[in-house]
Amino acid sequence: MTVMEQRGAYRPTPPPAWQPRTDPAPLLPDALPFRVLGTEAAAQADPGLLRRLYAELVRGRRYNAQATALTKQGRLAVYPSSTGQEACEVAAALVLQERDWLFPSYRDTLAAVARGLDPVQALTLLRGDWHTGYDPHEHRIAPLCTPLATQLPHAVGLAHAARLKGDDVVALALVGDGGTSEGDFHEALNFAAVWQAPVVFLVQNNGFAISVPLAKQTAAPSLAHKAVGYGMPGRLVDGNDAAAVHQVLSEAIAHARAGGGPTLVEAVTYRIDAHTNADDATRYRGDAEVETWRAHDPIALLERELTERGLLDDDGIRAAREDAETMAADLRERMNQDPVLDPMDLFAHVYAQPTTQLLEQEAQLKAELDAEADGPHHLGEGAGR
Amino acid sequence: MTTVAVKPATMAQALTRALRDAMAADPAVHVMGEDVGTLGGVFRVTDGLAKEFGEDRCTDTPLAEAGILGTAVGMAMYGLRPVVEMQFDAFAYPAFEQLISHVARMRNRTRGAMPLPITIRVPYGGGIGGVEHHSDSSEAYYMATPGLHVVTPATVADAYGLLRAAIASDDPVVFLEPKRLYWSKDSWNPDEPTAVEPIGRAVVRRSGRSATLITYGPSVPVCLEAAEAARAEGWDLEVVDLRSLVPFDDETVSASVRRTGRAVVVHESGGFGGPGGEIAARVTERCFHYLEAPVLRVAGFDIPYPPPMLERHHLPGVDRILDAVGRLQWEADS
Ligand SMILES: Cc1ncc(C[n+]2csc(CCOP(=O)(O)OP(=O)(O)O)c2C)c(N)n1
């Protein structure tokens, strides 16, 4: 019989002076996702904020639809839609002060746009004309990050550096449920907690990592539970309830700003569209499941709350939609113009001072471009000779 | 020759001095890594920095290389100049994703808006009897990644000068420290640190007329020894210390090979897919009409780094270099 089998008999004596480092109880998430809309708590919510969230949700939904349409027209190489997740995207953008930083993943163009980034600049990565179409410092939005979870340690480092400099800055980092399995997720959370960095992690648990459901991703009770192991609070929120996401994130950010350290927030939501326009979601999920989530739509939830409380009428709804249409029309028009690219840009930003090797290659490309302009190529007239 | 009155310093001490001077000169410089604080690093290169500058500027991090480099990226985004220590060559591998996907290309993907002035110090190479994972030469991986500078000192003075230059660089620099030279000394005066050397220039360590040994880091002293030994055979060897693998100083290297007409590249890391192949190709492309023989390579074997009791058979030593030099009498043999 092994020690483990001798149930009652196995009573290890604690080593001398052992005590838990932290009481885990206050760090644990609630059993059910926090909600505001449709509950008593909604009465406390600021009507101005709710209206603002509503307008942004409607814009966001339209933005997702327009960007997806642009893939069909060949104007975008790919688009990972956040339809169904707009409440998370919009709340993430609205909870931040101007001086704060957002660290988005590739799915979070909408958060960047809601934060004020020009929609065209937000899409250049996906159009394929440049990796980051904006100056991150200008908007305090890190480049949309494609390798999963690798932006999380950046957020921690930036928040830590800001605090070292005495600046009142918080970083908010977004990651998907699949991304929580990456090593960088672990390292980022661990560093954040050890350094008490003013950073908030928002996991948008939309049910799938491409085709892999959460059940195959983790055995944890919830993703928010993972926080406890790092010594930070974990919070579970209904990711389709914009008011709730806004409130939970606001609290986490205030906590971080006040020196309380990081928080891990899990927003339970659902990806209504496929992973990207290139994915066939019918291979891994059924219509019934999608319909259940459609019935819990973030825009419908907020619309109902606002109309029931007399904060929104048909005119207001129409105005929001018209505003969204204007944005979409502008986006469509500008995205339908061919971007003007300068091939010499390829060499412009590899190093502060180009190496002689790059200068040679730059000259080669220049010669190739000149030759291209001059007509067909003959053997022996190659560039660089 | 001038006589040097000061007591000689080791390469490790010169590196410490470089870190200290850089931290004193610029409050944005932060040192971070495993055991760099109280202990001063396992090679003591960060000795005393935490005491002098505080633990916020010389930080013992959790044990996580991706986290160290990943958080350094964020710190650099916010205007700091992190100098991170990877404890040993083979323990830098967990950080490769951050290095390759972010550090190397952040300037490029943001069109110059977000340069990352990060110095990544990596003690590398063999010859100290280290157990497995403590002796790798990983320079080929770094060299193959556009956006990184890759430098490696071979002298005490260069250790100081190149590290200051690396920290001052607005680009990320992989700073490879040849472990077996940590305790080597030369006449560098720690009280009057030498001028900061620019990155990207090779230097002729020994001039000669009959062939060029192109080398760097830990193999430089070996090549100098080989050059001395070759004198007896009538060979007058030139030794070029690259100092910087990226950017590569074609000019100095080609000028030397054009003078001598023969070249051997010497390094510890494996030859197949190694730095020597790139260097030999560059030399051939530039000096073909001057060459009296093919450019040869003397490298470590293409094997995982061997156990310490066998490493002397793996590392390129004087005899193997002399053998190659002998093979440079191409016409006579063919
Ligand atoms: C390191 C890494 N591995 C694999 C991929 C390919 N990939 C892109 S998205 C994705 C699924 C991500 O799922 P999740 O984190 O849940 O985010 P979601 O797409 O649901 O927003 C995968 C595997 C990647 N981008 N990065």
Looking at residue B187, what is its pLDDT? Answer: 76
Cβ of A146 below 6 Å from ligand 1: yes
Rg (CA), chain B: 20
Catalytic one of B30, B102, B134, B314: B134
Quickly count helices (H) and strands (E) in chain B. Answer: 13, 14
Nearest C-alpha neighbor of B163 from the set B8, B9, B21:
B21
Q: Which amino acid is at B4?
A: V
Q: Position of tokens 């220039």?
A: B201
Q: Which amino acid is at B113?
A: A
Nearest C-alpha neighbor of B196 from the set B63, B69, B17:
B17
* Protein residue whose Cα sits closest to atom 17 of ligand 1: A176
A385 touches chain B (CB under 8 A): no
What DSSP state is assigned to residue B103?
Answer: I
Termini Cα distance of chain B? 43
Q: Position of tokens 């340690």?
A: A153
**Cα–Cα distance, B326 to A234 (Å, whole number):** 69
Determine the angle formed by the axes of helices B250-260 and B275-287, rounding to 10 degrees: 60
Collect all residues with Cβ–Cβ distance below 8 Å to B254 and sequence separation of at least 6.
Answer: B283, B286, B287
**Cα–Cα distance, B334 to B329 (Å, whole number):** 9
Exposure string of A141-164, with b = 16+ CB inside 10 Å and e = fewer, is bbbbbebbbbbbbbbbbbbbbbbb
Looking at residue B333, what is its pLDDT? Answer: 46
Looking at residue A385, what is its pLDDT? Answer: 41
Q: Residue B246: beta bridge partners?
A: B150
**Cα–Cα distance, A191 to A202 (Å, whole number):** 16
Joined tokens for residue A311: 């904060």
Looking at residue A359, what is its pLDDT? Answer: 95
Q: Position of tokens 């027209």?
A: A73
Pocket test for ligand 1, best of A88, A146, A148 (most atoms within 8 A of CB): A148
* 8 A C-beta contact, residue B142 and residue B136: no
* 8 A C-beta contact, residue B125 and residue B179: yes
Nearest atom within ligand 1 for CA of residue A146: 25
Looking at residue B190, what is its pLDDT? Answer: 74
Looking at residue A7, what is its pLDDT? Answer: 65
* Side-by-side strand order, sheet with B211-215: B203-206, B237-241, B211-215, B263-270, B296-300
* 8 A C-beta contact, residue B199 and residue B248: no
* Protein residue whose Cα sits closest to atom 26 of ligand 1: A147
**Cα–Cα distance, B224 to B266 (Å, whole number):** 11
H or E element: which one contains A362?
A: helix A356-374
Nearest C-alpha neighbor of B242 from the set B215, B211, B271:
B215
Rg (CA), chain A: 24
Cβ of A209 below 6 Å from ligand 1: yes
B134 is catalytic: yes
Intervals of chain A under pLDDT 70: 1-10, 377-378, 380-385
Looking at residue B132, what is its pLDDT? Answer: 92
Joined tokens for residue B272: 């197949």
Best to test chain B binding among A351, A358, A359, A364 (most B CBs inside 10 Å): A351
A142 touches chain B (CB under 8 A): yes
Contact A349 B112 (CB under 8 A): yes
Looking at residue A14, what is its pLDDT? Answer: 78
Nearest C-alpha neighbor of B15 from the set B151, B146, B182:
B182
* 8 A C-beta contact, residue A362 and residue A344: yes
Exposure string of A254-272, with b = 16+ CB inside 10 Å and e = fewer, is ebbbeeebbbbbbbbbbbb
What DSSP state is assigned to residue B101?
Answer: I
**Cα–Cα distance, A106 to B30 (Å, whole number):** 30
**Cα–Cα distance, A105 to B29 (Å, whole number):** 29
pLDDT per position as a tens digit, B39-86: 999 999 999 999 999 999 999 999 999 999 999 999 999 999 999 999
Between strands A208-209 and B296-300, the pairing is: unpaired
What DSSP state is assigned to residue A350?
Answer: S
Looking at residue A6, what is its pLDDT? Answer: 63
Pocket test for ligand 1, best of A187, A208, A210 (most atoms within 8 A of CB): A210
Cβ of A276 below 6 Å from ligand 1: no
Q: How many C-beta neighbours within 10 Å does residue B307 have?
A: 13
User: pLDDT truncated to tens, each residue of chain B (334 aa)?
Assistant: 444 455 679 999 999 999 999 999 999 999 999 999 999 999 999 999 999 999 999 999 999 999 999 999 999 999 999 999 999 999 999 999 999 999 999 999 999 999 999 999 999 999 999 999 999 999 999 999 999 999 999 999 999 999 999 999 999 999 999 999 999 988 777 777 777 778 999 999 999 999 999 999 999 999 999 999 999 999 999 999 999 999 999 999 999 999 999 999 999 999 999 999 999 999 999 999 999 999 999 999 999 999 999 999 999 999 999 999 999 987 644 4
**Cα–Cα distance, B244 to B74 (Å, whole number):** 27
Q: Measured between beta carbons, which residues in chain A are less than 8 angstroms from residue B112?
A: 348-349
State whether the Cα torsion B106-B111-B114-B115 is positive or negative: positive
H or E element: which one contains B176?
A: strand B173-178
**Cα–Cα distance, A210 to A346 (Å, whole number):** 32
Ligand 1 centre distance from Cα of residue A176 (Å): 7
Q: Residue B186: beta bridge partners?
A: B9
Please name the residue of chain B whose CA is at the shortest distance from the CA of residue A147: B101
**Cα–Cα distance, B12 to B185 (Å, whole number):** 9
State whether the Cα torsion B315-B321-B322-B327 is positive or negative: positive
Collect all residues with Cβ–Cβ distance below 8 Å to B43 and sequence separation of at least 6.
Answer: B12, B123, B177, B179, B182
Looking at residue B6, what is its pLDDT? Answer: 59
> Helix, strand or coil for residue A271?
coil
Between strands A171-176 and A199-205, the pairing is: parallel
Joined tokens for residue B162: 């190149």
Q: Measured between beta carbons, which residues in chain A are less than 8 angstroms from residue B75?
A: 157-158, 160-161
**Cα–Cα distance, B296 to B280 (Å, whole number):** 7
Please name the residue of chain A whose CA is at the shortest distance from the CA of residue B99: A150
* 8 A C-beta contact, residue B151 and residue B201: no
* Protein residue whose Cα sits closest to atom 19 of ligand 1: A209
